[in-house]
A = this chain, B = another copy of it.
Amino acid sequence: MTTLGHLINGSRVAGEGRTQDIFNPSTGEVGGQVSLASKATVEDAIAAAQAAYPAWRDTPPAKRARVMFNFKQLLEQNADEIARLIGQEHGKIVHDAKGELQRGIENVEYACGVPELLKGEHSKNTGPGIDSWSEFQPLGVVAGITPFNFPAMVPLWMYPMAIACGNTFVLKPSERDPTSALYIAELALEAGLPAGVLNVVNGDKEAVDTLLDDDRVKAVSFVGSTPIAETIYQRASANGKRCQALGGAKNHAIVMPDADMDNVVNSLNGAAFGSSGERCMALSVAVAVGDETADALIGKMQTQMKTLKVGPFHDAENDFGPVITKAHQEKVCGYIDSAEQQGADIVVDGRGAQVAGHEHGFYVGGTLIDRVTPDMTCYLEEIFGPVLLVVRVGTMEEAMRLIDDHEYGNGTCIYTRDGEAARYFSDHIQVGMVGINVPLPVPVSYHSFGGWKRSLFGDLAAYGPDAVRFYTKRKTVTQRWPSAGVREGAQFSFPS
C-alpha cells in the first residue's frame, strides 16, 4: 500500500511524518495512506510558489492561457482514469465523477479566456493631457483548501483562474480523497506550468494553519462546512489576507400548484440523491404549496424512488454510491432517526440499505420524509446525505419565509409555469443562486458561484468573473507627460 505525498516545486515529495488512512467507501476497506504535511513541508511549498512568482507574473496572459488550453486537453484525455480515482476514494458513481470533472474542465475553459478577462479600464483625458487606467495585477502566492465531496472540481474552480491571472498556488485538497487532485495537478504541470507555479500539499489542521498564518500567502479560497469556513475567514482576515470561504447549505425547492409535476419529480430525484446528497447544492427540502400539491409530489416521488439504485462506484448502472465514511453513514441515519422521533413521516427509508457483495460499504439508501417542520433537527442542520425532506405550507409567501429564515442561503428553486411567481421569487428570495424549474442552479463556469447568508464568507464569489477580481488587485495609474521637449525639436541632440 502506498503513501501519497506532496507536489512541490514541480516534483513529487514523499511525506515525512504523520499519515492517515484513505478508504474506499464502496467496500469499506482502506486503500492507502496519505501523508499529513508538517509546517515545514507546507513552508517549502509556499517558498516554491514564492520563487516561481516573479517570472510567472511577467509571463504574458496569452501565454498563461495557452497552458490552460493544453491542460483542458490533458484532462479530457485522462478523464477515465480521473473518474476512477474519484470514485475509488469518494464513492461516487463513474458517470457522476465524469460529470464532476466536466464541470471542472469548464472552469479551465473559462480560464483560457484570461486575456479578455484581465482587460483594465482606460480613460483618456481625465484632465487636460492626463490619462488614467486600471490594471488588474496578480496577488502573489494564493492558497486553496478544498473539500472531499468534489475532489476534482473544487480545486479546478480555484487554481486555473488564480494561475491564469498570474498568481502561483498551493493547494491543500481533502485528506479523505486526495489522489485525484494530485493526479490532476501533475497534468497541469505537464501542460506547461513552470515548477513551483502549482504545488499540492496533503494535510490536516497543521497544514491549514500554516497556510493561514504565513505572510507570503496573500489570499485563501476555501470550500467546506460553515463552522470551518467561518473560522478560516476570520483567521485569514485577521492576518490581512484576502479570503473567500464557502460553507454549508440547506437548499429548498418550492413546488407550486401549477408546477409540471413530472419535471419536478424527475429533476428532484437527481438533485436530492445524486452523489448521495453530498453536494452543497443538493436539493434537500421540497416545500409543497398546498396539500394537494404535497400529496401529488409524495405519490410520484414514491413511485420514482423505487427505481433508484445504490451501489459501488464502478458500476455505471448505479444512481449513487456510498457516503464518504462510516461515521458519516451513522450521522445521516441519525438524522433520519431524529426525524422519526420528532414526528415526521418516513415515506421511503434508506437506513439499513444493503448492497450485495459490498456489505461493508458506507451505504445509505434514498430517503423521503414527509411532514417535516422547521423546528426539527433534520430541517435545521445540513444532512449531506441522500435524504429529501418535504415541508407542507399553505402559501408561496410562507414557503419563502421559511427559506429566508434558514441560516443558509446557497441555492434554491421554484417550480412553476407562471412568470410572475418566478420573478417575484427570484427577486426577493435571500439566496445567492436561484433556479426557476432548475433544482440545482449551479451557475455555469462563466457566471460565478456564491451563496448568501452563512453559506459564503467574503465579498466575491467563486469562479467565473468574480474569481478574476478575487485573484487580482486593482492598480490605477494616472499619467501626464511634461512639456514637449522632444516633440518640439528642442532635444535633437539627445545622445543616441
Contact = CB atoms under 8 A, between A and B. Distances in A.
Interface of A: 58-62, 65-66, 69, 72-73, 106, 109-110, 112-113, 115-135, 137, 230, 233-234, 237-238, 240, 242, 256-261, 263, 290, 292, 296, 394-397, 416-424, 426-427, 431-438, 441-450, 452, 454, 457-461, 465-466, 469-470, 473-489, 491-496
A473 B60 CA distance: 27
Q: Most chain-B CB neighbours within 10 Å: which of A61, A418, A434, A469?
A: A418
Given A261-B496, A459-B470, A447 B132 contact: yes
A329 to B, nearest CB: 32
Contacts of A423: 129, 131, 479, 481
Contact of A419 (B106, B116, B422, B449): B422
13 contacts: A62-B109, A122-B133, A124-B427, A132-B444, A233-B237, A234-B234, A258-B494, A420-B484, A421-B484, A421-B486, A431-B475, A442-B478, A459-B459
Given A418-B491, A419-B481, 4 more contacts: A132-B443, A134-B447, A257-B492, A257-B493
Contact of A437 (B457, B460, B481): B481
B461 A459 contact: no
Given A257-B486, A437-B480, A457-B240, A444 B128 contact: no
4 nearest CB pairs, A to B = A113-B113, A260-B482, A420-B481, A418-B486
A441 B447 CA distance: 28
Contact of A494 (B397, B427, B484, B494): B494
Nearest to A494: B258
Q: Most chain-B CB neighbours within 10 Å: which of A73, A424, A436, A452?
A: A436
Q: Most chain-B CB neighbours within 10 Å: which of A292, A448, A496?
A: A496
A60 B474 contact: no
Given A60-B128, A113-B113, A486-B421, A120 B122 contact: yes
Nearest to A239: B234
Contact of A134 (B130, B448, B476): B448
A122 B125 contact: no
Contacts of A121: 119-122, 447, 465
Q: Could you tell me the dominant secondary structure of chain A's interface residues?
A: mixed
Nearest to A437: B480
Contacts of A395: 488-489
A417 B394 CA distance: 22
A133 B133 contact: yes
A120 B123 CA distance: 6
Contact of A459 (B59, B242, B437): B242
A491 B443 contact: no
Given A432-B475, A435-B478, A124 B118 contact: yes
B448 A487 contact: no
Contacts of A118: 123-124
Contacts of A260: 482-483, 485, 496
A411 B314 CA distance: 55
A228 to B, nearest CB: 15
A27 B421 CA distance: 50
Contact of A469 (B123, B137, B432, B459): B459
Contacts of A460: 459-460, 469
A478 B257 contact: no
Given A72-B69, A261-B496, A493-B495, A444 B123 contact: yes
A73 to B, nearest CB: 6
Contacts of A486: 256-258, 396, 416-418, 420-421
Contact of A417 (B132, B419, B427): B419
Contact of A110 (B116, B125, B132): B116
Contacts of A434: 475-478
Q: Most chain-B CB neighbours within 10 Å: which of A457, A479, A486, A495?
A: A486
Contact of A433 (B109, B127, B478): B478
Given A290-B492, A432-B475, A441-B477, A115 B418 contact: no
